[in-house]
A = this chain, B = another copy of it.
Amino acid sequence: MEKRDKGSSPMAMMGSGGDENEDVKTTMRTAETLLRLVPMALCVSALVVMLKNSQTNDFGSLSYSDLGAFRYLVNANGICAGYSLLSAVIVAMPRPSTMPRAWTFFLLDQVLTYVILTAGTVSTEVLYLASKGDTTITWSEACVSFGGFCHRALISTVITFAVVICYAVLSLLSSYNLFSKYDSPVLTYPGKGIEIATFHG
Protein backbone atom coordinates (compact mmCIF):
# COMPACT_ATOMS: atom_id res chain seq x y z
CA MET A 1 0.00 0.00 0.00
CA GLU A 2 2.92 2.32 -0.60
CA LYS A 3 1.89 5.71 -1.88
CA ARG A 4 2.98 5.75 -5.47
CA ASP A 5 0.90 8.65 -6.71
CA LYS A 6 2.93 11.81 -6.69
CA GLY A 7 1.58 15.31 -7.14
CA SER A 8 1.87 18.84 -5.86
CA SER A 9 0.94 19.20 -2.22
CA PRO A 10 -1.59 21.86 -1.22
CA MET A 11 1.21 23.62 0.69
CA ALA A 12 3.49 23.69 -2.32
CA MET A 13 0.73 25.26 -4.41
CA MET A 14 0.63 28.28 -2.14
CA GLY A 15 3.04 31.06 -2.97
CA SER A 16 5.15 31.23 0.18
CA GLY A 17 4.14 27.74 1.34
CA GLY A 18 7.24 26.15 -0.12
CA ASP A 19 9.61 28.33 1.90
CA GLU A 20 7.67 27.78 5.13
CA ASN A 21 7.62 24.06 4.50
CA GLU A 22 11.36 24.15 3.85
CA ASP A 23 11.86 25.95 7.18
CA VAL A 24 9.79 23.33 9.04
CA LYS A 25 11.78 20.53 7.42
CA THR A 26 15.12 22.16 8.26
CA THR A 27 13.98 22.58 11.88
CA MET A 28 12.84 18.94 12.04
CA ARG A 29 16.12 17.74 10.53
CA THR A 30 18.12 19.82 13.04
CA ALA A 31 15.99 18.47 15.91
CA GLU A 32 16.50 14.86 14.81
CA THR A 33 20.25 15.41 14.38
CA LEU A 34 20.47 16.80 17.93
CA LEU A 35 18.31 13.94 19.23
CA ARG A 36 20.90 11.55 17.77
CA LEU A 37 23.92 13.48 19.06
CA VAL A 38 22.61 13.55 22.67
CA PRO A 39 22.63 9.73 23.07
CA MET A 40 26.07 9.66 21.41
CA ALA A 41 27.44 11.96 24.14
CA LEU A 42 25.63 9.93 26.83
CA CYS A 43 26.94 6.62 25.44
CA VAL A 44 30.51 7.90 25.47
CA SER A 45 30.07 9.13 29.07
CA ALA A 46 28.63 5.80 30.24
CA LEU A 47 31.41 3.97 28.39
CA VAL A 48 34.22 6.06 29.89
CA VAL A 49 32.82 5.86 33.45
CA MET A 50 32.59 2.06 33.17
CA LEU A 51 35.97 1.62 31.45
CA LYS A 52 37.72 3.49 34.28
CA ASN A 53 35.82 1.51 36.90
CA SER A 54 38.12 -0.63 39.01
CA GLN A 55 38.80 -0.83 42.71
CA THR A 56 41.57 -2.45 44.72
CA ASN A 57 41.37 -2.83 48.48
CA ASP A 58 42.06 -5.35 51.28
CA PHE A 59 39.41 -7.70 49.86
CA GLY A 60 41.12 -7.89 46.47
CA SER A 61 40.80 -6.20 43.11
CA LEU A 62 37.64 -5.73 41.07
CA SER A 63 37.40 -4.39 37.53
CA TYR A 64 34.44 -3.94 35.18
CA SER A 65 35.92 -6.65 32.95
CA ASP A 66 35.40 -9.23 35.71
CA LEU A 67 31.66 -9.11 35.07
CA GLY A 68 30.11 -10.14 31.75
CA ALA A 69 27.21 -7.72 32.22
CA PHE A 70 29.50 -4.70 32.48
CA ARG A 71 31.59 -5.83 29.50
CA TYR A 72 28.34 -6.04 27.53
CA LEU A 73 27.37 -2.55 28.74
CA VAL A 74 30.69 -1.16 27.45
CA ASN A 75 30.30 -2.88 24.07
CA ALA A 76 26.65 -1.85 23.69
CA ASN A 77 27.47 1.77 24.52
CA GLY A 78 30.37 1.71 22.05
CA ILE A 79 28.18 0.38 19.24
CA CYS A 80 25.39 2.81 20.15
CA ALA A 81 27.77 5.81 20.17
CA GLY A 82 29.07 4.83 16.72
CA TYR A 83 25.60 4.31 15.27
CA SER A 84 24.31 7.57 16.83
CA LEU A 85 27.13 9.58 15.25
CA LEU A 86 26.75 7.90 11.85
CA SER A 87 22.97 8.30 11.81
CA ALA A 88 23.25 11.94 12.96
CA VAL A 89 25.57 12.67 10.02
CA ILE A 90 23.22 10.97 7.55
CA VAL A 91 20.16 12.78 8.95
CA ALA A 92 21.98 16.12 8.88
CA MET A 93 22.51 15.83 5.10
CA PRO A 94 19.55 17.45 3.29
CA ARG A 95 18.64 14.41 1.22
CA PRO A 96 15.09 13.20 0.52
CA SER A 97 13.96 10.33 2.72
CA THR A 98 13.54 7.28 0.52
CA MET A 99 11.67 4.09 1.45
CA PRO A 100 14.77 1.87 1.92
CA ARG A 101 16.40 4.58 4.02
CA ALA A 102 13.28 4.95 6.21
CA TRP A 103 13.13 1.15 6.68
CA THR A 104 16.85 0.99 7.54
CA PHE A 105 16.52 3.77 10.13
CA PHE A 106 13.38 2.17 11.57
CA LEU A 107 14.91 -1.31 11.92
CA LEU A 108 18.31 -0.14 13.20
CA ASP A 109 16.70 2.26 15.71
CA GLN A 110 14.55 -0.60 17.00
CA VAL A 111 17.53 -2.97 17.28
CA LEU A 112 19.69 -0.32 19.01
CA THR A 113 16.84 0.42 21.46
CA TYR A 114 16.66 -3.27 22.36
CA VAL A 115 20.47 -3.60 22.62
CA ILE A 116 20.89 -0.58 24.88
CA LEU A 117 17.84 -1.56 26.96
CA THR A 118 19.23 -5.07 27.58
CA ALA A 119 22.65 -3.56 28.46
CA GLY A 120 21.05 -1.30 31.08
CA THR A 121 18.91 -4.18 32.36
CA VAL A 122 21.70 -6.74 32.87
CA SER A 123 23.84 -4.10 34.62
CA THR A 124 20.92 -3.22 36.90
CA GLU A 125 20.41 -6.92 37.71
CA VAL A 126 24.11 -7.41 38.53
CA LEU A 127 24.11 -4.26 40.68
CA TYR A 128 20.96 -5.50 42.44
CA LEU A 129 22.57 -8.88 43.14
CA ALA A 130 25.86 -7.25 44.18
CA SER A 131 24.17 -4.93 46.65
CA LYS A 132 21.53 -7.34 48.03
CA GLY A 133 23.34 -10.64 47.55
CA ASP A 134 21.40 -13.92 47.53
CA THR A 135 21.67 -16.08 50.61
CA THR A 136 19.92 -19.12 49.06
CA ILE A 137 22.59 -19.60 46.40
CA THR A 138 25.33 -18.12 48.63
CA TRP A 139 26.07 -15.07 46.48
CA SER A 140 27.80 -12.46 48.62
CA GLU A 141 26.99 -8.76 48.80
CA ALA A 142 29.98 -7.58 46.79
CA CYS A 143 29.01 -3.90 47.11
CA VAL A 144 29.73 -3.99 50.88
CA SER A 145 33.40 -4.57 50.05
CA PHE A 146 33.51 -2.62 46.78
CA GLY A 147 31.31 0.43 47.45
CA GLY A 148 33.16 2.77 45.10
CA PHE A 149 33.04 0.26 42.25
CA CYS A 150 29.29 -0.22 42.63
CA HIS A 151 28.70 3.54 42.84
CA ARG A 152 30.51 4.20 39.54
CA ALA A 153 28.79 1.22 37.90
CA LEU A 154 25.46 2.68 39.05
CA ILE A 155 26.29 6.06 37.44
CA SER A 156 27.16 4.33 34.17
CA THR A 157 23.92 2.32 34.29
CA VAL A 158 21.78 5.40 34.98
CA ILE A 159 23.38 7.19 32.00
CA THR A 160 22.64 4.09 29.89
CA PHE A 161 18.95 4.34 30.84
CA ALA A 162 18.99 7.99 29.73
CA VAL A 163 20.19 6.65 26.35
CA VAL A 164 17.27 4.18 26.41
CA ILE A 165 14.81 7.10 26.77
CA CYS A 166 16.45 8.96 23.85
CA TYR A 167 16.24 5.81 21.72
CA ALA A 168 12.60 5.16 22.65
CA VAL A 169 11.84 8.65 21.29
CA LEU A 170 14.01 8.04 18.20
CA SER A 171 12.13 4.76 17.58
CA LEU A 172 8.86 6.66 17.67
CA LEU A 173 10.26 9.25 15.26
CA SER A 174 11.61 6.69 12.78
CA SER A 175 8.30 4.75 12.96
CA TYR A 176 6.50 7.97 12.05
CA ASN A 177 8.98 8.73 9.26
CA LEU A 178 8.50 5.25 7.82
CA PHE A 179 4.81 4.47 8.23
CA SER A 180 3.46 7.93 7.42
CA LYS A 181 4.66 7.12 3.87
CA TYR A 182 2.08 4.32 3.73
CA ASP A 183 -1.63 4.60 3.08
CA SER A 184 -3.96 4.52 6.02
CA PRO A 185 -6.20 1.45 6.19
CA VAL A 186 -9.73 2.30 5.02
CA LEU A 187 -12.17 2.43 7.93
CA THR A 188 -15.59 0.84 7.82
CA TYR A 189 -18.38 1.20 10.31
CA PRO A 190 -19.98 -2.24 10.15
CA GLY A 191 -23.75 -2.46 9.92
CA LYS A 192 -24.04 1.07 8.65
CA GLY A 193 -22.58 0.52 5.21
CA ILE A 194 -20.67 3.78 5.36
CA GLU A 195 -17.05 3.68 4.31
CA ILE A 196 -14.79 6.44 5.52
CA ALA A 197 -11.33 6.65 4.05
CA THR A 198 -8.93 8.65 6.17
CA PHE A 199 -6.77 9.95 3.42
CA HIS A 200 -5.60 13.36 2.47
CA GLY A 201 -6.56 15.07 -0.75
Given A12-B195, A22-B188, A68-B132: 17 more A-B contacts, CB < 8 Å: A18-B188, A21-B188, A66-B137, A67-B137, A69-B125, A96-B189, A96-B196, A110-B168, A110-B171, A121-B121, A125-B126, A137-B140, A175-B179, A180-B180, A180-B183, A200-B201, A201-B201
Q: Which of B6, B132, B180 contacts A196 (CB 8 A)?
A: B6
Instruction: From A60, A117, A134, A189, name the one whose CB has the most chain B CB atoms within 10 angstroms.
Output: A134
Task: Indicate how many identical chains form the complex.
Answer: 2
> What 1/0 flags go to A102-129 for Cβ under 8 Å of B?
0000000010001001100110111011
Answer whether A185 and B137 are a contact pair too, CB < 8 Å, given A69-B125, A196-B6: no
| Choice from B1, B114, B139, B190 contacting A117 with Cβ under 8 Å | B114
CB closest residue in chain B, given A62:
B136
A199 x B7 contact (CB < 8 A): yes
- Please determine whether A128 and B68 come into contact, CB atoms closer than 8 angstroms: yes
CB contacts (< 8 Å) of A198 on chain B: these are 3, 6, 181
A174 to B7, CA, bound (A): 28
Q: In the docked arrangement, what's the CA distance between A178 and B177, Å?
A: 12
Rounded to whole Å, the gap between the CB of A23 and the closest CB of chain B is 11
Taken together as a complex, chains A and B put the C-alpha atoms of A76 and B128 apart, in Å, by 18
Q: Max chain B CB contacts within 10 Å: which of A18, A94, A96, A110?
A: A96
Q: Does A25 contact B (CB under 8 A)?
A: yes
**Interchain CB contact under 8 A, A67 and B134:** yes
Residues facing B in A1-22 (CB within 8 A) are: 1, 3, 5-9, 11-12, 18, 21-22
A139 to B132, CA, bound (A): 13
B128 touches A137 (CB 8 A): no
Instruction: Give A189's nearest chain B residue, CB to CB.
Output: B96
Q: Nearest B residue to A176 by beta-carbon distance?
A: B179
Indicate whether A57 reaches chain B with its CB closer than 8 angstroms. Answer: no
CB distance from A58 to the nearest CB of B (A): 15
